[in-house]
Amino acid sequence: MTYTQPDAIAAIARAIQTEQNYVFAAGLAGAFLRGAGRRRATNQLAEHRARLQTNAALVDPAEVPATPPGFTPESPITDPKTARSALAALSNALVGVYADVASVTEGADRATAIAWAQASARDAVRWGAASQAFPT
């Protein structure tokens, strides 16, 4: 389904932008992570790229935000601790983003947004964030 309502377009565009940031941060973080952390970041690159494509298919191509040339995390990613912290923060942000997408979509699209919000909450905890009732 292609969503044309302004609130749906805005929520989906925000999801695309946040996913773009996650992909960039996961690539950057991977340079500082080792072992299981690096494997998780690498796996998540593919997962979040797929989410980008799925989200982009929900709106007219003209509404898809351009991929920015880069992303500046809230705190610089300079070591394994800051890499995990950045990915935890972005995962928490995606919880709210996908809650917004769920509120403006329907059917299978809504179910997907809910599943991705839940997965993002789990990912945030796996990256070291404290468990929250309503992650932000």
Record the tokens describing residue 39, joined without a space: 């494997």
- List the chain pLDDT tens, one digit each, 136 residues: 899 999 999 999 999 999 999 999 999 999 999 999 999 999 999 999 999 999 999 999 999 999 988 888 888 999 999 999 999 999 999 999 999 999 999 999 999 999 999 999 999 999 999 887 765 5
The pLDDT of residue 7 is: 97
CA atoms within 13 A of residue 11's CA, in its CB half-sphere: 21
CATH number, domain at 79?
A: 1.20.1260.10
Using CA atoms, how far apart are residues 66 and 41, in angstroms rounded to an integer? 23
- Domains identified in the chain, total number: 1
Residue 118 placed within a domain: yes
Range of the domain at 89: 6-61+73-126
Residue 133 placed within a domain: no
pTM of the model: 0.93
Q: How far apart are the first and last CA of the chain?
A: 28
